[in-house]
Amino acid sequence: MATPRIAEPATLTPVSTTVPATLTVVETAVPAMERTVHPVQDRSNNSTTVIFRMGMRRSDFDARSIREVGGRSESSAMATIGWMRLRRWLGACVLGWSCAAPLVGPAWGQDAAALRARHAALREQLGNNPFQRPLYLESSQSSGNLKGEIYASIEQPYSIVGPALQGMDRWCDILILHLNVKYCQGSGAGAAETLTVVIGRKYDQPLKDAYRVDFGYQVGVANSEFLRVLLNSESGPLGTKHYRILLEAVALDAQRTFVHLSYSYAYGTAARIAMQGYLATIGRNKVGFTVAGRRADGQPVHIDGVRGVVERNTMRYYLAIEAYLGAVNLPPAERLEKRLRDWYAAIERYPVQLHELERDEYLEMKRREVKRQQAGGLSAAPRRSRRSRRELYDHRLMVRGVAV
Indicate the domain borders of the chain. 112-268+285-384
Q: Per-residue pLDDT for 229 more than 90?
A: yes
Which pLDDT score, from 0 to 100, does residue 382 have? Answer: 53
Which pLDDT score, from 0 to 100, does residue 139 have? Answer: 94
Cα angle vertex 376, ends 373, 377, to 5°? 110
Q: Per-residue pLDDT for 15 more than 50?
A: no
What's the CA dihedral at 358, 363, 369, 375 to 10 degrees? -170
User: What is the three-class DSSP state of 131?
Assistant: coil
Which pLDDT score, from 0 to 100, does residue 283 have? Answer: 80
Choice between 49 and 351, residue whose per-residue pLDDT is larger: 351
Do residues 211 and 237 touch, judged by C-beta distance below 8 A?
A: yes
For residue 322, count other CB atoms closer than 10 A to its CB.
19
* Helix (H), strand (E) at residue 217: strand 211-222
Spatial separation of the C-alpha atoms in residues 50 and 98, rounded to whole Å: 20
Quote the CATH superfamily of domain 112-268+285-384: START domain (3.30.530.20)
Which pLDDT score, from 0 to 100, does residue 320 have? Answer: 98
User: What is the three-class DSSP state of 80?
Assistant: coil
pLDDT tens track for 252-308: 999 999 999 999 887 777 777 877 777 778 788 899 998 989 999 989 999 888 899
In the chain, % of residues over pLDDT 90: 48
Where is average pLDDT lowest: 8-17, 244-253, 342-351, 377-386?
8-17
